[in-house]
Amino acid sequence: MPLPGPGGKQSFIIIPVGQEVAIGHGMAKQVEETEKILDDTVWQNYLNQIGQKIAAVSDRKDIKYHFKVIDSDQINAFATPGGYIYFYTGLLKEMDNEAELAAVMAHEISHVVARHGIKRMQAALGVQVAYELVFGAEGASNAVNSAIGVGMGLTFAGYSRNNERESDSFGMHYMVKAGYNPQGAVSMFQKLAELGGDGQSIYEQLVSSHPDTQERISKAKARVAEQTPLPKSLTLGTKKYQQMKSRLK
């Protein structure tokens, strides 16, 4: 069943959307059993508001998106299949404006829009489980549970380089569409490259000193250059972000 992806690109997915959401929900439950959700409704609402704004201009509106802040020093953010997206306070503290947050947010939403997670899972599940997910009853618990297990176990795998490039590219498109200055993506990618990393992060290897990070910075710079002069309406949102950041101390 071909489904629309970013920019109307069609992707071949066999696991139905209902099952994808059930798997994502199960993974989100496990994440929230092991990680501490930040006890600050102002921050949770702020993250949700930015997330919903970007999701609304994305190419995927057949699911409900969920956004939460995790209280942990890890410098990371990730998305499960089906639209459950998490940001760590360790990453939020490294950011200096809302456009930088929007850059990572739009990147994560793009992984969901393009169904990178569910495709990776589909490839890892094996025929039997995939078959049950496709032809079994909606929410067939055994198959969904196996898929949740596989999803949690894919932590070491990361996304392919092509998936990352695709999410960077559509992410920049979405953040601008939502009204953010794309310069936020350039400064964010530079920061993530400087922070380096051991490559052991779960779901996403946002922080990495890999040579690919230099490529993503040049690509982001090129995208900004293409759009220069940038419309004055595009915001960095520095003042608001600094206010929010002071709450994280």
Pairing of strands 66-70, 77-80: unpaired
The region of 81-89, 97-105, 159-167, 187-195 touching Zn ion under the rule CB under 5 A is: 159-167
* Nearest distance in Å: CB 61, Zn ion: 21
Nearer to Zn ion, 26 or 117 (CB): 117
Nearer to Zn ion, 55 or 144 (CB): 55
Q: Indicate the length of the chain as a whole number.
A: 249
Nearer to Zn ion, 167 or 181 (CB): 167
The region of 10-18, 124-132, 156-164, 232-240 touching Zn ion under the rule CB under 5 A is: 156-164
Q: What is the layout of strands, in order, in the sheet containing 77-80? A: 66-70, 84-88, 77-80
* Nearest distance in Å: CB 223, Zn ion: 17
Which residues make Cβ contacts (< 8 Å) with residue 13, sequence separation at least 6? Answer: 1, 3, 115, 118, 119, 122
Nearer to Zn ion, 83 or 129 (CB): 83
Nearer to Zn ion, 100 or 164 (CB): 164
Q: What is the dihedral of CA 162, 165, 170, 171, to 10 degrees?
A: 130
* Nearest distance in Å: CB 107, Zn ion: 6
Nearer to Zn ion, 143 or 154 (CB): 154
The region of 2-10, 137-145, 158-166, 235-243 touching Zn ion under the rule CB under 5 A is: 158-166
* Nearest distance in Å: CB 132, Zn ion: 29
Sketch the per residue contact string, 161 through 200, with Zn ion: x for CB under 5 A, - otherwise: ---x--x---------------------------------
Are residues 147 and 23 in contact, defined by beta-carbon separation less than 8 angstroms? yes
* Nearest distance in Å: CB 164, Zn ion: 5
| Whole-angstrom distance, CA of residue 116 vs CA of residue 97 | 28
Structure tokens at 151: 């999803």
The region of 142-150, 160-168, 170-178, 223-231 touching Zn ion under the rule CB under 5 A is: 160-168
* Nearest distance in Å: CB 76, Zn ion: 10
Total residues binding Zn ion (CB under 5 A)? 2
Nearer to Zn ion, 146 or 163 (CB): 163
What does the binding site for Zn ion look like in residue numbers (CB under 5 A)? Answer: 164, 167
